[in-house]
Structure 1
Amino acid sequence: MLARHPLDAMPPALLAELEVGGLVPADLYAAVVAAIDEDVPGEDVTSAATIPVDARGTADLAAREPGVVAGLALAELVFRYVLGDAVTVTERRPDGARVAAGDLVMRVEGPTRGLLTAERVALNYASHLSGVATATAAWVAALDGTRARVLDTRKTLPGMRALQKYAVRCGGGVNHRWSLSDVAMVKDNHVVAAGGVVPAYRAVRERDPDVRVVVEVTELAELEQLLDVGCPWVLLDNMDPATLRAAVAANEARGDGAAVLEASGGLTIERARAVAETGVDYISVGALTHSVTVFDLGLDLRDATP
């Protein structure tokens, strides 16, 4: 049987760690409950058939490639939900830590059935989030020495936005807007509907003077128009390095009235450095979250006592 440990019985230090990471323990707990219910709607029939009910074991969660880990605190939450006070977690590396292939990132000890029942959900979270963190770290490294910083986008898996954006931060990236409500991002379809970049920008300003506004442009002329009306943040979409350099020069010519410039659209890590060296402030990368490769983590049972 699963312990299904309640949230208020979890170690306070673990919950505090999640909160420090900008996550909401109650939301994560609810997600873990749903994930375990999906994976174990009845009993773990394989473990029940092959493992004595009173067997105990120790399992190592290890990296099988180099990268940056994230989601290990959440993986611990999974094990503690399934096993309650019967599990001991040690040697857990902090989220955001760089690891090499073969490095131990967490050790769990407890009832063997429960360890293997919780294994897949814990690995699903940690492998995916470590993949996001590792991909982000690679972009950060590619931009090193330039002024540009890497931004994420809203291209996140439904229900996973807070976790994926957390993993981006673990990898050294910066979170862009969280939703359609916290930042007004005027994109091409909004520009068409409003009749131009300036009318679109002014419409947002008139309706909500306090909201942060980002306006997407595809031509230098549109950038100049927005700079004339004091737009604070401009997204430069699908521009080549030469055009980006011209955009940066036009912006810097405004002195203190310069806008934040963000490059986006069709970017690859191979092109990252060339784009960053144009002088833009940010590079936004949807691939950090929408098409990331999972990080190879594995859990191996070191010993088991019947």
Structure 2
Amino acid sequence: MQNAPYLTPEALSTFIRTALTEDVGDGDHSSLAAIPANARNRAKLLVKGEGILAGVQLARLIFREVDPALRMELLLTDGAPVKHGDVAFIVEGPARSILTAERLVLNCMQRMSGIATYTAYLTTLLAGTKAKLLDTRKTTPNFRLCEKWAVVIGGGVNHRYGLFDMIMLKDNHVDYAGGIRQAIEATHAYLKRTGRDLPIEVETRSLAEVQQVLETGGVYRIMLDNMRPAQMREAVRLIGGRYQTEASGGITEQTIAEVAATGVDFISVGALTHSATILDISLKAY
């Protein structure tokens, strides 16, 4: 798996505990009321669609957080192609604990599997080119960790995780700064002043702006935003391998292959995380 520095034990634990607090509150009163304290049962994770499975590792951590007495038997792993009727794992242990963990496990896995499935599909459309598929920051608040993890499971590449781990000078930054040269020069001054070493990417909207970046220098990637394929191809030629290139803006499954053929290094698609449909999954007692 691609290096994912955000998947730390602390971050995962914080996410799971916060999500459980939201869902469980002062108790799972349905289970506490209806299920004997000493009841032990098992359930299977049943796939009810076709796609790429994601969230199995996270499910293990959720079950462990809810009750260390729960045991999982893994039958399928993250990244596995699945079809209707497949069983991903079996969980066994205190019945109340299985029921308490059920919805969080399903919410995470359905969403993550949907993202992984769509990512894997778009990646197939890049075959024969050097382009790699990137995600964006268009994620669900407080669920970014899971969504970006799912992109990696589906074969995509994570872009920056947040505002803190790289500098991206987008159109509004450029306009507010007074232009591309001013934005880049101010950024270098800021990095020197604060002692930070962050990669710089600049968004360009025209070939003239690409030329301005080339004349200024000091970046590591140039974004080609909302350009037509012919413009992108010319921009790639102008850049000539001096900097990485990224295509962005309104790219769909109908246009992504043509964009990739322009020779760009990366293609970012917000729809990976903001528009992917879930993969239907359920947890069935048996």
Identity %: 45
Q: Secondary structure at the match of 2:235?
A: helix
Q: Check conservation: 1:152, 1:175, Cα contact below 8 A.
A: yes
Partner of 1:182 in structure 2? 165
- Ranges of 4+ aligned residues in structure 1 off by more than 4 Å: 19-22
Deviation at 1:20, TM superposition (A): 8.2
Partner of 1:268 in structure 2? 252
Residues 114-193 of structure 1 correspond to what in structure 2 (within 5 A)?
114-193=97-176
* 2:283 pairs with 1:289: no
Deviation at 1:63, TM superposition (A): 1.6
Partner of 1:97 in structure 2? 80
* Letter aligned with residue 96 of structure 2: R
* 2:179 pairs with 1:196: yes
How many residues in Structure 1 have an aligned counterpart in Structure 2? 280
Q: Check conservation: 2:222, 2:243, Cα contact below 8 A.
A: yes
Partner of residue 235 from structure 1, selected from 223, 230, 233: 223
Q: Check conservation: 1:235, 1:261, Cα contact below 8 A.
A: yes
In structure 2, runs of 5+ residues without a counterpart are none
Q: Summarize the Cα distance change of 1:78–1:92 in structure 2 as closer, same or farther, 3 Å threshold.
A: farther
Partner of residue 113 from structure 1, selected from 91, 96, 102: 96
Q: Secondary structure at the match of 1:47?
A: helix
Q: Check conservation: 1:21, 1:166, Cα contact below 8 A.
A: no
* Letter aligned with residue 235 of structure 2: A
Partner of residue 65 from structure 1, selected from 49, 58, 63: 49
Q: Summarize the Cα distance change of 1:232–1:44 in structure 2 as closer, same or farther, 3 Å threshold.
A: closer
* 2:213 pairs with 1:226: yes
The CA distance in 2 between the partners of 1:21 and 1:191, in whole Å, is 29
Q: Secondary structure at the match of 1:90?
A: strand
Q: Check conservation: 1:71, 1:95, Cα contact below 8 A.
A: yes
Q: Check conservation: 1:263, 1:283, Cα contact below 8 A.
A: yes
Partner of residue 37 from structure 1, selected from 21, 25, 28: 21
Q: Secondary structure at the match of 1:159?
A: coil
Q: Check conservation: 1:139, 1:269, Cα contact below 8 A.
A: yes
* Letter aligned with residue 173 of structure 1: G
RMSD across aligned C-alpha pairs, in angstroms? 2.1
* 2:13 pairs with 1:25: no
The CA distance in 2 between the partners of 1:32 and 1:235, in whole Å, is 35
* Letter aligned with residue 65 of structure 1: G
The CA distance in 1 between the partners of 2:17 and 2:158, in whole Å, is 27
Q: Secondary structure at the match of 2:255?
A: helix
Partner of 1:55 in structure 2? 39
Deviations 1:212-262 (A, max 9, x none): 11111111111112122334311111011111111122222xxx6x22110
* Letter aligned with residue 139 of structure 1: L
Q: Check conservation: 2:108, 2:146, Cα contact below 8 A.
A: no
Q: Secondary structure at the match of 2:68?
A: helix
